[in-house]
Amino acid sequence: MKLDIKINERIATVEMIENTGKTFKIKVDDQIYEVDSKEVKDGVFSILNDNKSYLIDIISGSSNKNFEVVAWNKVFPVDIIDAEAKYLMSRGQGTTGDDENVISSPMPGKIVKIMVKKGDVLKAGDTVIVVSAMKMESEYKVKQDSTVQDILVSEGDTIEGHQPLVIVE
Amino acid sequence: MKLDIKINERIATVEMIENTGKTFKIKVDDQIYEVDSKEVKDGVFSILNDNKSYLIDIISGSSNKNFEVVAWNKVFPVDIIDAEAKYLMSRGQGTTGDDENVISSPMPGKIVKIMVKKGDVLKAGDTVIVVSAMKMESEYKVKQDSTVQDILVSEGDTIEGHQPLVIVE
Amino acid sequence: MINKILIANRGEIALRIMRSCREMGIKSVAVFSEADRKSKHVYYADEAYFIGPSPSNESYLKVDNIIEAAKKSGADAIHPGYGFLSENAAFSDRCKAEGIIFIGPTSEVISVMGDKISARKKMIDSGVLVVPGTKEDIKSDEDALRIVKMVGLPVMIKASAGGGGKGMRLVRHEKDIISGVRAAKSEALAAFGDDAVYVEKLVENPHHIEFQIVGDSHGNVVHLFERECSVQRRHQKVVEESPSPLMTPELREKMGTMAVTAAKAVNYVGAGTIEFLVDDELNYYFLEMNTRLQVEHPITEIVVGVDLVKAQIIVADGGYLPWNQQDLLQRGHSIETRIYAEDPFNNFMPSPGIIKHITEPLGPGIRHDGYIYAGYEIPIYYDPMISKLISWGSTRQEAIDRMKRALFNYKLSGVRTNIRYLHRIMESEDFASGNYNTGFIEKNADFLLADAENYKELEDLVMIASFLYFRKQTGNNDNQHKEECTQSNWNNYAKQIGVNRL
Amino acid sequence: MINKILIANRGEIALRIMRSCREMGIKSVAVFSEADRKSKHVYYADEAYFIGPSPSNESYLKVDNIIEAAKKSGADAIHPGYGFLSENAAFSDRCKAEGIIFIGPTSEVISVMGDKISARKKMIDSGVLVVPGTKEDIKSDEDALRIVKMVGLPVMIKASAGGGGKGMRLVRHEKDIISGVRAAKSEALAAFGDDAVYVEKLVENPHHIEFQIVGDSHGNVVHLFERECSVQRRHQKVVEESPSPLMTPELREKMGTMAVTAAKAVNYVGAGTIEFLVDDELNYYFLEMNTRLQVEHPITEIVVGVDLVKAQIIVADGGYLPWNQQDLLQRGHSIETRIYAEDPFNNFMPSPGIIKHITEPLGPGIRHDGYIYAGYEIPIYYDPMISKLISWGSTRQEAIDRMKRALFNYKLSGVRTNIRYLHRIMESEDFASGNYNTGFIEKNADFLLADAENYKELEDLVMIASFLYFRKQTGNNDNQHKEECTQSNWNNYAKQIGVNRL
């Protein structure tokens, strides 16, 4: 088994060389690791590499190819890049499916104010919507000149993180 | 929905009267409770009864009709008694499937010594097997005169709790 | 006699108060909003009452609903915690009118100390040092020029009713005096409906040091020494410690006495905090009084060896202070860090969400006041603080070492937190040397967000773990878990043939 | 200079030691048996080495394997914790021979203090009070009669090499002297290959009080006051507290000085404990010395404000004691309860198994030294102790109140524990009044297992919860969880059309 895995800007090829039952021999790019890995609880791995001890906590993301991994209190965004992802990337869509035409908030919250209405013509940097969460308000703006295609929420609505709020074009 | 539920010696009939969405009206024998119940995590229930707050932690037992329930640091053994269980009880087998002919240890451990061999004739109170767990040794004896039918383990074996060790008759 | 207390709050402080109640044999009553049904304070309490929809102003700030819950439960007293209704004079009055003990000061005291001009006047009249400036509203441009020149530039123009930085202007140059005053007045009017402003001398990069005081209804007031609160981001405290590295025994004695004087000036009953600004020459000035329990009260509890919530309850119930001033001694050093669900690496964006795993750091010298649990969803409606980590050491160095150890071992996944950021604060030279003031965060901004270490090996192992996890999820799992399967067969067998312990 | 320490132990004490290592900037090395691969001490450490199969004598007691791991890891020192190899003279010697610092005393000291007759002799020669009796082996029946009469009945006959109650006989009547001595000798020979026995006066229902001492290699020894350890079940400590309710300042001074004398008599370097028997008239007698860290060391750490593990490391490294005797003061009161995976209501049967949920009690005045986590399987091979709960209060009463609060809120499911039993101990009159000795558990046996309260309502609610749980498991679930489903659809939608933050 062999996979391309992406963390931030780095993409590495990870390949299982051998499963000895006790340890795994795994190649990351050119380096071979022989690790003793145990899942101590759901998604939490205790890894001994050359007797050095690591605890790595994997949280499933929005798909089964997308994780948020916590180790040493540092958060690593991990993407598994398989054929499908490669195809999308080759078409310039990236692995996370970024789409500049959909305005959303990365965090859940409440819609405080919608500054635009359907059909409005906007200039780059115009504020579209204000979202509040945990006593903090965030403004979301358009990156380039565009027109409001659709508004999917109303003021006062409670929203999920990454939920589409406004569509522009 | 209506079930007989057993805790220790007590058997009560529990019946759902109404699910209002916010609360459940449930009858236990003759008493009607209207509780606000939420599962705060897997098997752990926060129950508000008449505004009194309870936290009840349910652990699945060896079957889906048999739980160990922890509340106020007290452990309640709970059996759900449905038609099948009633039938077994009527035949005198109890709900936990007790069988005096199978000797087992309620706790996992290691076989220290087997005092008998197949075919041995035993008197009530004879020690059959010694099991050790966590620095403590326990002896298991036969309750009545019997003959050893089968020995399912060897000295030095690691055993599960409730695993059959010796069969007598 | 207080037998049952309603806690008009949520989160860690509600739990904190309930713990002391339980230790005193007092029943605790929780209140909760819609979003908080699964919050730990609800199932930790003896009783719990629903008080309304999720937004605070429809539940935790809704006086009628809270009073109704108190009456229904038969609570003798209400503890407001911090925030929400804790410094609301009308709520204090309402409790009194309903015959419920409010665990906090009277509405008169809250009003006097809540208005900055009236507090200044009161303090000046009582001989408490305040930041040089006026104690009167500036009525005209002439007033402004005369007073500012008297006080001496640079100055702060501040709204009397102010808070949150609103109605506040820094004036460094003479030419900006009149425009600064006018801007402050109009902002104050818009924000608070009151254009009263006053002038204070600017204390440059001050230390923010506060003294804990407690008073009883028999005229006794003691102070419990200081807390250094200069590590602030946008006027929000991030790290606090006690004692203050800046403090000398003489200064502590003088400031402590002044804190007691300040509290006695308003016949203060309950726990309160006198905040001071201290400059690098150790000049100190009364800044304001908080008439409630502070978030950072645990560092005082640990260093002085007291339980402030119990003291609050005792004095609210008409009892005597449990200590004399001479009983109170500081031992060792304590630091508090505030753990927030926020992402420091993404402009401190709040990060509500579901906690997946949490391993709280334990062991010697660590206290952890929290309320979240694995599976809990941090709601979007309230403050992003999820817990307070408090360390104690026999020396300041040991307190720092323990805080670092605890932060390193605080394992939390599912939401972003500032744990790493706090660890960087502990690692910074300025903090380590104790040589910092309220300019700390700004001065160290780059250091605090920088990633000094090389993570190549860790990153590779993260990839390996992800690889193995993905492989398991997609079923390509060789022969892991075979052991477990073999074992549990025994259970099934045991079940089938029936088992008995003899 | 110690930079890396191998901890030759497991469970809570391994974690406890690693915490101090991390605070000191010292790397920690774990060792683990087959059963312990998923134990927390393995993933808490900086490095971890496999040392053999699950049974202790094939791993944690296997000197060669531990030394090999130490060499491979480049550890400068080995900390043995308690139990296992901590009082093994040969292991101490072996470390020395290999050039590894053993964090504990030399083999000579371990040998002298490990043999009861040689320890008695040493103590008597140094002027330490021991239980009246002989310090010599009884060689003949005549010796027996003469010596027992001299000491005065009742007496204990004890094996010199003894331990665990073997080779021990209580003699109350003259007619039983000779048979008692003979029985003890033959049992001692069988158990230890050595029939040496000696006679001690029986101290009836004594208090078991121990003094913590620490010595350095420069001839300094201090004591850190006492721990009361009289709550014992079958010679196993269950609850400890400090200070002892029995103690007076004068007695503390005298016993502390004697503890230091005892330690100095063997030029003791490291942390150790001098155990005393104390009768109701406050007569005290040296019982034995433990040449290692005790399980109950945290109550001393909290009351005195020290870190004993750090002190061990410092003195093992040749450093000076971090304190003088006059620096050391007791503040407040601390209690430790030992949480065991056992079922007090089923003859204290051990209860290994998988932890389902655990909520550790936190908050003011609580320290929790543990090592288990949700999903962890407690192995069958080792001690059933899963954690130590330690409370501190400004008074003994507050320490008890906090312990009760913490025990009540210690939520653990999946294995049986003694948490409720410990709560009953705190509730008992004898414990509450501080008026107890080593007869406590026996005297209160019925009370401790009784169920005073009426559980009708709780039992009904347990049934209701079980009913709802069963209903959910079997799919008859009305419309619970509908909310969640609605919400997560958004996620899917977001995924499908792609989302961007601008």
Question: pLDDT band at residue D477, thresholds of 50, 70 and 90?
Answer: low
Are the C-beta atoms of D413 and B73 separated by less than 8 Å? no
Mean pLDDT, residues A144-163 taken together: 89
Question: How far, in Å, CA of A104 to CA of A159, rounded?
Answer: 10
If one counts every other C-beta atom within 10 angstroms of the C-beta of residue D237, the result is 18
Question: pLDDT band at residue D495, thresholds of 50, 70 and 90?
Answer: very low
> What is the tens place of the pLDDT at every residue in B39-69?
999 999 999 999 999 999 999 887 888 999 9
pLDDT of residue B91: 67
What tokens were used for D94? 């072996």
pLDDT of residue C474: 86
Q: Is the Cβ pair B7, D459 closer than 8 Å?
A: yes
User: Which range among C114-118, D63-67, D197-201 shows the weakest confidence by mean pLDDT?
Assistant: C114-118
Q: Residue C261 to residues C108, C226, C320, D139, D341: CA-CA distances in angstroms? A: 18, 15, 19, 78, 55
pLDDT of residue D15: 98
Q: Tell me whether D187 touches chain C (CB under 8 Å).
A: no
Active-site residue identified among D120, D292, D402, D424? D292
Q: How far does Cα C58 stand from its chain's mean position?
A: 23
Query: Per-residue pLDDT for C494 more than 60?
Result: no
The DSSP code for C321 is P
User: Which range among B44-53, B137-146, D36-45, D316-325 shows the weakest confidence by mean pLDDT?
Assistant: B137-146
Write phi, then psi, for A121 (nearest 5 degrees).
-100, 125
Identify the bridge partners of residue D130 per DSSP, sorted by sequence position: D286
Query: Per-residue pLDDT for D295 more than 80?
Result: yes
Are the C-beta atoms of C398 and C315 separated by less than 8 Å? no
Question: How far, in Å, CA of A36 to CA of A44, rounded?
Answer: 14
Residues from chain C that touch A54, judged by Cβ atoms under 8 A, are 458, 461
What tokens were used for B22? 């916010």
pLDDT of residue D280: 86
Helix intervals (H) in D152-197: 177-192
What tokens were used for A160? 């999920």
Share of chain D above pLDDT 90, in %: 77
With a cut of 70, list the residues of chain B below it in pLDDT.
91-99
Residues from chain D that touch C360, judged by Cβ atoms under 8 A, are 360, 362
Question: How far, in Å, CA of C177 to CA of C190, rounded?
Answer: 20
Strand C27-33 and strand C4-7: the pairing is parallel
Among B14, B32, B84, B107, the residue to mutate for chain D (most D Cβ within 10 A): B107
Which of C44, C47, C500 is closest, CB to CB, to B99?
Answer: C500
Among D458, D463, D473, the residue to mutate for chain B (most B Cβ within 10 A): D463
Which of C380, C459, C474 is closest, CB to CB, to A110?
Answer: C380
Are the C-beta atoms of D470 and B80 separated by less than 8 Å? yes
Q: Which domains does chain B have, with CATH numbers?
A: 2-90 (3.30.700.30), 102-168 (2.40.50.100)
Residues from chain A that touch C416, judged by Cβ atoms under 8 A, are 75
Query: Per-residue pLDDT for C221 more than 90?
Result: yes
Are the C-beta atoms of A70 and A63 separated by less than 8 Å? no
Q: Tell me whether D34 touches chain C (CB under 8 Å).
A: no
Mean pLDDT, residues A60-81 taken together: 89
pLDDT of residue C491: 39
User: Following CA atoms D127, D133, D139, D142 in sequence, which dihedral angle do they give, to the nearest 10 degrees?
Assistant: 130
pLDDT of residue D189: 86
Share of chain C above pLDDT 70, in %: 93
Q: Which residues fall within 8 angstroms of residue A117, CB to CB, at 6 or more apart?
A: A148, A151
Q: Is the Cβ pair D332, C305 closer than 8 Å?
A: yes
Residues of C catalogued as catalytic: 292
B140 to chain C: nearest residue by CA?
Answer: C502
Query: Per-residue pLDDT for D479 more than 60?
Result: no
Query: Per-residue pLDDT for C404 more than 90?
Result: yes
Long-range Cβ contacts of A56-63 (<8 Å, 24+ apart): A56/C461, A56/C462, A56/C465, A57/C356, A57/C357, A57/C411, A57/C413, A58/C465, A58/C466, A58/C469, A59/C356, A59/C413, A59/C414, A60/C473, A62/A162, A62/D491, A62/D494, A62/D495, A63/D495
User: Which range among B97-106, C295-304, C409-418, D407-416 shows the weakest confidence by mean pLDDT?
Assistant: B97-106
A52 to chain D: nearest residue by CA?
Answer: D47
Residues from chain D that touch A106, judged by Cβ atoms under 8 A, are 501
Q: Tell me whether D20 touches chain C (CB under 8 Å).
A: yes
What tokens were used for D61? 């007691």
User: Which range among C188-192, C410-414, C475-479 shows the weakest confidence by mean pLDDT?
Assistant: C475-479
Mean pLDDT, residues D10-30 taken together: 98
pLDDT of residue C489: 36
pTM of the model: 0.90
Mean pLDDT, residues C117-141 taken together: 88
Are the C-beta atoms of C371 and C15 separated by less than 8 Å? yes
Question: How far, in Å, CA of C294 to CA of C300, rounded?
Answer: 10
Identify the bridge partners of residue B11 per DSSP, sorted by sequence position: B6
Question: pLDDT band at residue D482, thresholds of 50, 70 and 90?
Answer: very low
Query: Per-residue pLDDT for C492 more than 70?
Result: no
Mean pLDDT, residues C294-313 taken together: 98
Question: How far, in Å, CA of D423 to CA of D337, rounded?
Answer: 9
Beta strands in C216-291, from DSSP E residues, in sequence order: 221-233, 236-242, 270-278, 284-290
Q: Residue B85 to residues A38, B8, B62, B93, D89: CA-CA distances in angstroms? A: 40, 15, 14, 9, 60
pLDDT of residue D162: 66
pLDDT of residue A124: 87
Question: How far, in Å, CA of C53 to CA of A16, rounded?
Answer: 52
pLDDT of residue A52: 97
Q: Which residues fall within 8 angstroms of residue D8, CB to CB, at 6 or more apart?
A: D31, D60, D66, D78, D79, D80, D81, D84, D85
Residues from chain C that touch B53, judged by Cβ atoms under 8 A, are 30, 42-48
Among A70, A105, A138, the residue to mutate for chain C (most C Cβ within 10 A): A70
Question: pLDDT band at residue C418, thresholds of 50, 70 and 90?
Answer: very high
C47 to chain B: nearest residue by CA?
Answer: B52
Residues from chain D that touch B80, judged by Cβ atoms under 8 A, are 466, 470
Among C362, C371, C395, C401, the residue to mutate for chain D (most D Cβ within 10 A): C362
pLDDT of residue B62: 74
Among D485, D331, D341, D473, smallest CA distance to D394 is for D331
Q: Is the Cβ pair D380, B110 closer than 8 Å?
A: yes
A119-123, B1-5, C260-264, C452-456: which has the highest mean pLDDT? C260-264
Residues from chain C that touch D366, judged by Cβ atoms under 8 A, are 367
The DSSP code for C435 is -
Radius of gyration in angstroms for the set of CA atoms belonging to chain B, rounded to a whole number: 21
> What is the tens place of the pLDDT at every residue in C23-60?
999 999 999 999 999 999 999 999 999 999 999 999 99
Q: Is the Cβ pair A1, C476 closer than 8 Å?
A: yes
pLDDT of residue D167: 80
Chains A, C in contact, 3 or more Cβ pairs below 8 Å = yes
B146 CA: distance to closest CA in chain C (Å): 13
Q: Is the Cβ pair D43, A55 closer than 8 Å?
A: yes
Q: Tell me whether D23 touches chain C (CB under 8 Å).
A: yes
Chains A, B in contact, 3 or more Cβ pairs below 8 Å = no
Q: What is the DSSP string of D458-484?
A: HHHHHHHHHHHHHHHHTT--TTTTHHH
Among C171, C157, C159, smallest CA distance to C200 is for C157
A49 to chain D: nearest residue by CA?
Answer: D47
What tokens were used for C366? 């660590």
pLDDT of residue C493: 34
Query: Per-residue pLDDT for C497 more than 80?
Result: no
